[in-house]
């Protein structure tokens, strides 16, 4: 089961960027409504240049969203799946049976339920493939947690403990030979900060500290967790966090009107990107320098933004007069699907972690992270993160402005793309980080780490590397 649905051997690496005739090279459809891969984009020729319209328009960068990035995500990592508070609920508020919880993760249907209490009073969280090993019935939504730390299949009532063992075949009697012989397919889990993490990889899980950012293990940090589903490929959710779309798409953002930031001068654009740090699992970057809040565009014969008369306050600077919009490490991408934005002057970290559901949706975890040790400051930060940040940054700005532009039926990630200077981190995200990913080291190349010299060849051929070759 693992390899057949793994997402690498068969569908993880189709190349998009070299398709120039409107047909899909391998015949596989990517998304419903994918105009490019469906072959619905007509070929046009521009006579004076001898180029196809597609080539001219898109410039044939050859670096599409899924250039090397797997469509269903990297599997050899821990991912947040759900919040602890979603588990252990009863059918009705005060009575009724406890219900298991279902989630689709990386194309697989998973059921979660609470195991028995351990010596520390905490419960392990069980994660099973959502199919009963007896005759394949689905555990949710009709299955129940009738007995402490177990799940019972809704069909014949075979009951499994948190390790996946069948502990009772209720309709076959106490002497049933199935008990002790049948096992549900389980996935490793861990709970950190009341978030349930799951390991979907086909190799041994790493210690969870390797994948979860350091703030989660430091009690001086407050973390506000918000979970929702974003209707787009997981990789777009990450790329959206680091590209500079803000001065255009969010130009009318509500929170900046409410906190008066709209009356402040802001950078109209990013004059390129400076990469300030790169590791095997991350890239940190910031705008290459400051920029004016309004600028003349010769191609338009006009200035943009067109009107700025209400920006009566100067750009934000620190005490040394340094522009806060260009402070180091303002953006970061981390494997497998983490984007971090360090707030300019606000002292808090806006972190996104996208858990792939399928090719066109992901579980979007938003973590508002703030460092505070003083009890009063902690209270203020908690309220700030819960009410201001979650409402005006995540919901009003991200969900109402970013998502409508990027959702699966509005942005076709299979169309060829032409990347520019501000897209440099995205190029690294699509080309370099896949090569240093644990999936590449452990599975795609079976433990062989690809060196930079091999990168060119991989860029050219982009052959899928099957898990079992």
Binding site for ligand FES (CB under 6 A): 132, 134-135, 137, 153, 155-156, 158
Between residues 155 and 388, which has the closer beta carbon with respect to ligand FES?
Answer: 155
Query: How many other CB atoms are found less than 10 A from the CB of residue 146?
Result: 14
* Residue (158 or 389) nearer to ligand FES, CB: 158
Positive or negative, the CA dihedral 184, 188, 190, 194 is: negative
Helix and strand element counts for the chain (H, E): 10, 21
Shortest spacing between CB 250 and Fe ion, in angstroms: 6
Minimum distance from residue 159 beta carbon to ligand FES (Å)? 9
Give me the least distance between CB of 366 and Fe ion, in Å please: 12
Nearest distance in Å: CB 427, ligand FES: 48
What is the smallest separation between the CB atom of 337 and ligand FES, expressed in angstroms?
33
Strands 348-358 and 361-371: antiparallel
Q: Which does 135 bind (CB under 5 to 8 A by kind): ligand FES, Fe ion, none?
A: ligand FES
Q: Tell me whether residue 224 or residue 402 sits nearer to Fe ion (CB atom).
A: 402
Closest approach, Cβ 123 to ligand FES, in A, equals 23
Considering the complex, what minimum distance in angstroms separates the CB of residue 153 from ligand FES? Answer: 3
Taking CB atoms, the residue at the shortest distance from Fe ion is 402
Return contacts of 299-307, CB within 8 angstroms, 24+ apart.
304/268, 305/247, 305/251, 305/268
Q: Which CB, 150 or 366, lies closer to Fe ion?
A: 366
Tell me how far, at minimum, the Cβ of 166 lies from ligand FES, in Å.
Answer: 9
* Least Cβ distance, residue 350 to Fe ion (angstroms): 10
Contact 443, 202 (CB under 8 A): yes
CA dist 23 and 342 (Å) reads: 41
238 binds, among Fe ion, ligand FES, none (CB under 5 to 8 A by kind): none
Neighbours of 438 (CB within 10 A): 21
Angle (CA) 306 308 311, round 5°: 165
Q: Distance of CA 468 to CAs 167, 315, 437, 442, Å?
A: 34, 55, 18, 12
What is the separation of C-alpha 309 from the centre of its chain, rounded to a whole number of angstroms?
38
Of 132 and 467, nearer to ligand FES (C-beta) is 132
Q: Where are the beta strands (DSSP E) in 193-279?
A: 195-199, 221-230, 273-278
* Residues near Fe ion, by CB under 5 A: 402
Nearer to Fe ion by Cβ, of 406 and 417: the residue is: 406
Whole-number CA gyration radius for the chain: 25
Least distance between ligand FES and beta carbon 161 (Å): 15
Closest CA to 244 of 221, 224, 268, 225: 268
- Partner from ligand FES, Fe ion, none contacting 402, C-beta within 5 to 8 A by type: Fe ion
Query: What is the H or E stretch that residue 135 is in?
Result: none
Residue 156 or 377: the one with the smaller Cβ distance to ligand FES is 156
104, containing H or E segment: strand 101-105
Count the Cβ atoms, other than its own, within 10 Å of residue 174.
8
Strand segments (E) across 312-374: 331-334, 338-342, 348-358, 361-371
Alpha carbons 223 and 218: distance in angstroms, whole number: 10
Beta sheet of 189-192, edge-to-edge order: 78-83, 195-199, 189-192
Give Cα 214 distance to the centre of its chain.
Answer: 18
The SS3 call for residue 192 is strand
């Amino acid at each position: 089961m693992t390899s057949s649905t793994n997402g690498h051997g068969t569908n993880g690496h189709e190349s998009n960027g070299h398709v120039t005739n409107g047909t899909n090279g391998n015949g596989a459809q990517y998304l419903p409504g994918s105009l490019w891969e469906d072959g619905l984009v007509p070929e046009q020729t521009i006579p004076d240049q001898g180029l196809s319209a597609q080539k001219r328009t898109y410039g044939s960068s050859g670096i599409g969203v899924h250039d090397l990035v797997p469509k269903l995500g990297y599997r050899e990592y821990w991912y947040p799946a759900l919040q602890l508070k979603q588990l252990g609920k009863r059918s009705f508020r005060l009575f009724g049976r406890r219900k298991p919880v279902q989630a689709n993760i990386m194309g697989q249907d998973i059921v979660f339920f609470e195991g028995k209490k351990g010596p520390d009073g905490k419960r392990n969280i069980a994660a099973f493939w959502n199919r009963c090993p007896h005759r394949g019935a689905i555990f949710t939504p009709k299955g129940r947690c009738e007995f402490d730390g177990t799940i019972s299949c809704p069909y014949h009532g075979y009951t499994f403990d948190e390790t996946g063992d069948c502990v009772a075949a209720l309709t076959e009697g106490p002497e049933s030979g199935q008990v002790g012989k049948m096992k549900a397919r389980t996935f490793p889990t861990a709970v950190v900060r009341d978030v349930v993490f799951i390991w979907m990889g086909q190799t041994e899980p790493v210690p969870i500290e390797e994948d979860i950012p350091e703030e989660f293990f430091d009690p001086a940090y407050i973390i506000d967790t918000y979970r929702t589903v974003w209707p787009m490929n997981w990789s777009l959710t990450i790329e959206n966090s680091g590209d500079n779309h803000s001065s255009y798409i969010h130009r009318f953002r509500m929170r900046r009107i409410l906190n008066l930031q709209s009356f402040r001068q802001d950078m109209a654009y990013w004059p390129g990107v400076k990469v300030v740090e790169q590791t095997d699992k991350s890239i940190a970057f910031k705008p290459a320098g400051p920029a004016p809040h309004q600028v003349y565009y010769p191609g338009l014969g006009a200035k943009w933004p067109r009107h700025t008369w209400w920006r009566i306050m100067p750009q934000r600077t620190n005490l040394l007069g340094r522009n806060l919009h260009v402070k180091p490490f303002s953006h970061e991408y981390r494997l497998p699907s983490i984007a971090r934005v360090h707030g300019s002057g606000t002292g808090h970290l806006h972190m996104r972690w996208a858990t792939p559901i399928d090719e066109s949706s992901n579980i979007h975890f938003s973590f508002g992270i703030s460092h505070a040790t003083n009890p009063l400051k902690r209270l203020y930060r908690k309220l700030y993160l819960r009410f201001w940040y979650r409402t005006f940054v995540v919901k009003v700005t991200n969900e109402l402005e970013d998502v409508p532009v990027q959702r699966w039926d509005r942005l076709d990630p299979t169309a060829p793309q032409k990347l520019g200077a501000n897209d440099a981190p995205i190029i690294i995200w699509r080309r370099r980080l896949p090569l240093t990913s644990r999936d590449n080291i452990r599975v795609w190349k079976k433990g062989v780490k690809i060196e930079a010299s091999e990168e060119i060849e991989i860029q050219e051929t982009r052959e899928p590397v099957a898990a079992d070759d």
